[in-house]
Each structure stands twice: as structure tokens, then as C-alpha cells.
Chains A and B, each alone.
Chain A
Amino acid sequence: MGNHEHHSETTLRVNGKPHTLTVDHRRVLLDLLREDLALTGAKRGCDHGQCGACTVLVDGRRVNSCLLFAVALDGREVTTVEGLSGDGEEPHPLQRAFLERDAFQCGYCTPGQICSAAGVLAEAAAGHPSYVTDPAAPSGEPVPLDREEIRERLSGNLCRCGAYPRITEAVEDVIP
């Protein structure tokens, strides 16, 4: 197990269930999910924060799990694509929309796109602006999501297959 200086007991709630593990401080959340918990939805693309394939939600906010040390997340709530629909009986509306729009080819980026889109919907509902939001209207009211907003807000998720037009349409389908 190595030196105790370099490991810590860490508790994370993942998709609603608590997990207590002794983690090497070098363990990033992505590896903990994929290797320790066998949740392989989140993907490793670049491993450097550049592609978004590893996107999950931590305390409801989308983040790149390849750049987060698990030990620093002690006590946090993690949601992966496997847990997005709650009990898993019915797919999440975003998952259904991606299927209906055929918004992928190889599917490698898809879990990240879907988790990121879930984050986008929550951010827009909370009134968070983006770079393309009209700066003249700081209101705190929900930001309406048009195509330009969706494209800008999802720009941290790359798709090597170039499925962007359908991804944008799928997200448009679930806008409340």
C-alpha cells in the first residue's frame, strides 16, 4: 500500500451511493470511476482538459474528471452518465434525444457530451451567461438557449466524428 503520507481515505457519493476508498493521492477522478468503480461511461480522450470526453458532474456542476485529484473531492457528490437518469428505469431526456437525433457516430465523446449538456441546461436555468450572451442584460433570469448559445457552451466537448450539428439539435430538443 506504500507510504501512508501518499494515500488517504476518501469518501465520495457516486450516483447516489457512498464509496469509501483508500486512494493514492495521484488518483484522478476519471481513473477512480473507471478502474476502481468499473464505471466506464466517462472516457479518456486527451487526459489534459482539452477534449471533454471525461466530463462528469460534481455537486451538479460539469467538470473534467481527468484533472481532478480524487482525494480533493472527499465528501462530494459525483454523477456520471450511468447515474444521470436517477434509478435508470427510463433514460434521461438528453439520452433519449441523442438516440432520436442519432447524435453520434463512434459514440466515444457521447457520455461527455451528455453530461456537459446536463450541466449547460442547469447553468442557463440559473442565469449563467456565456461569451455570446448579450452583456447588456445582466438579469440573473434564465438565459434562453439558441443554437449559438448551445455551440458556445458545449465548445469544451470535442467530437472527432464531427457530429456537432446533430448534437446541437439533440440539446435543442430538451430545452424546457
Chain B
Amino acid sequence: MSSEALTQKIASVFQSVGATTLSFFEITGRLFLFMMNSVNHMLRPPYYPRLILRQMIDIGFYSLPVVGLTTLFAGMVMALQSYSGFARFGAESAIPNVVVLSITRELGPVLAGLMIAGRIGAAMAAELGTMRVTEQIDALQTLSTNPFKYLIAPRLIAGITMLPLLVLVGDIIGVLGGYLVSVHTLGFNAATYIQNTWNFLSFMDVFSGLVKAAAFGFIVALMGCYHGYQSKGGAQGVGAATTNAVVTASILILVSDYLLTVAFFSQ
């Protein structure tokens, strides 16, 4: 083993690390520019109220069943699981608090965010991707309309505003799920359960969950638009864009959930 071969080996390791790092920075840089551009256009007129409303209905109203079902069962499972755990050391009375805190702080926003990533993020990527590969985005530009204002801004606005509302509804349904299981199968007293739920709930628990929801709504819409807008190469490209939109949105939701939890609750 000559020292020359060794240095060559080390150099090639550095090279591949360098290349990976570079492409990582290139991708995040491109995404960051896209985000700045989108936000810039979102905040400045002209606005398109019709399009914003259409997106809001799509995201807010039509996602209600999915989010409601998910949080309902999440609340039910929370009650069952914490009962089987807490009963061992006689702490069943904590169940209402555990259910309401975990739903409002964590499960509500995260589950709704992930569901919306699958439902809305994918749809946005597919629609914008199809518009890109069939030259509809080009046509928009030649008709003096900025695609960032016409296509992306309404989706971002709808994502940021509708997800908190969805989560608020989901919170209520989730707590209801915990209540139903506790009262009907675990033998809790209905009045005590409700009282315990209220007693320990603070404004911050709900508020932090809604802020998270707004952030997740932004992430889902941004990822859907970004991957759709950048897609190329026909049906296959649109398929890839859809997958990437859902995967990146889901990962970013979990990462930002951690960061926001640190920001809100670690003193």
C-alpha cells in the first residue's frame, strides 16, 4: 500500500462528501428561493379571491371527513391505551388530561397535517405538474398572468388559514372520541370526565397546536406547489413530483413539529 493510493482514497471520499453537500445546498437553496418568491407574491396584490375561495373549500371543507375520522380514532385509542397503562398504578383519573393534552398539542395538528399532505399536497403537485408538462403554465405567462400569483399564492393562503380551522374541529372530535370510550366502555362518570378535561386545559395547549397547524399548512402547500411547478418529463415526471411532495411534506412536518415543540414548551 503506497501512501499515494491512500491519499487518492481519502481524496475520493472527500470528493463524494463534497458533491453530496453541494447538491444538498443547491436543492435547499432552490427551495428557499422558491419560497421567498412565493411569499413575496402572496403578500402583494393582485389577489385572486375566487381562486383563494376555491382552494379554501377544497382544503378546509372537503378534508373535514378525513381529519374528523382520524382524530376521532386517535382520541379513542389514546383513552384505551392510557387506561391500560395508568390502571396499573391507579392513576386512571389522569386520563381526561392525557387525552386532551395529547390531542390538542400533538396528535391533532400532526395527524391532520399528515392527512392533508397526502390528500392536498399530492393533488397540488399533480395539478401543477400537469399544467407544467402540458405548457399551461407557459400559456399563463404569455397571457400576462404571473403563475406565482395565480396558482401558488391562493394555495399557500388557503393552506395557512384552513389547517388551523381543521385542527380546531379535529381537536373537538378527538376529545369527543376519548370521552366516548372512557364513559361507555371504561366506566367513567360523564360529568367528572368533562370537568377534568376542562380543568387542566390551558390556552397555550390549544394555541400552540393551531400555530403548528398553520405551519404545517404552509409546508404542505409549499411542497405541493414546488414539486408540481418544477416537474418535467410527462406523466412519469408528474408521478414523481406527487410522491416527492408527499414525502418531503411529511418529513418537514415531523421535523418542524419537533422544533416548534422546543420553541413553545422547553424552558
Chains A and B are bound partners: no
Interface residues of B (CB under 8 A from A): none
Interface residues of A (CB under 8 A from B): none
